[in-house]
């Protein structure tokens, strides 16, 4: 099935690659980052350990699926912040220790 005719190549018409600009609104939605934020907030609000851990896991997923560093990093960092905040409130808060003892 070779293309008929002689060499089909045309170096003169070659153009270097130009990445097509993608509008930030057209990017696929980062669901895992969104879920991470929800779990993170739940973890902080209700002192729900598992929530914070799940937030951390979904942060990792979001990070693994990151395509555009600039736009995605914002959401991931918010999710991560909530997760860390939840961790701190859950494990380091004095109130919890008082309850335990």
Partner 1 sequence: MATPRSSFFFSPRCDTLLYLIALLSLLLHHISADSHFEGFDADDDLEDDTVLFQPPLSDLPRRPPPAPTTLSTPSDPESHHGPPVPQSDPDLNPKTTSFDYWDEDEFEGFPVDNNNVITPPEVIKTTSDDSVLNENENEKARVLEPVSLSKRIRAYTVEMICVSFLIMFAVNYFTGKKENENLALAWAAKFATKDTIFDKNFSLLGVGEGDNSPLLMKEGQNVFKFYASGRRYCQDLVATMELKSRQDLIAKLYNMVVPCKDEITIEVRMNEDAMDHVVFALGKKKAAKVMHKEVRDLQRFASLMTAGPNGRKWVADELMVITESKEVAGDLITETVLDQVFGEKAFQSLGKLFISLHFSDQQQGTHKKMLVFKFALPDVNHMADMTRLVALVPYYIDLIGRYKLSSQARSKTEAARSKVAQEAYKEQQNERQEMLQRKKAEKKKMMEEAASKLNAEALRKKEAKERARQLKKAMPKIKMSRGA
Binding site for partner 1 (CB under 8 A): 1, 3-5, 8-17, 19-20, 32, 49-50, 53-54, 56-57, 60-61, 64-67
Q: How far is the CB of 51 from partner 1 (least distance, A)?
A: 10
Residue 64 Cα distances to 8, 10, 69, 75, 78, angstroms: 41, 40, 11, 13, 16
Nearer of residues 36 and 41 to partner 1, judged by Cβ: 36
Q: How far is the CB of 49 from partner 1 (least distance, A)?
A: 6
CA proximity to 89, closest of 61, 81, 75, 34: 81
Nearer of residues 45 and 67 to partner 1, judged by Cβ: 67
Q: How far is the CB of 98 from partner 1 (least distance, A)?
A: 17
Q: Are 54 and 90 in contact (CB under 8 A)?
A: no
């Amino acid at each position: 099935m070779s293309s008929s005719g002689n060499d089909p190549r045309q170096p003169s018409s070659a153009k270097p690659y130009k990445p097509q600009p993608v509008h930030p609104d057209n990017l696929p939605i980062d669901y895992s980052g969104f879920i991470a934020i929800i779990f993170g907030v739940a973890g902080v609000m209700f002192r729900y350990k598992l929530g914070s851990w799940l937030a951390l896991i979904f942060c990792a997923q979001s990070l693994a699926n990151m395509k555009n560093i600039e736009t995605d990093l914002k959401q991931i960092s918010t999710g991560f912040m909530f997760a860390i905040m939840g961790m701190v409130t859950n494990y380091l808060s004095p109130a919890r220790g008082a309850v335990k003892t």
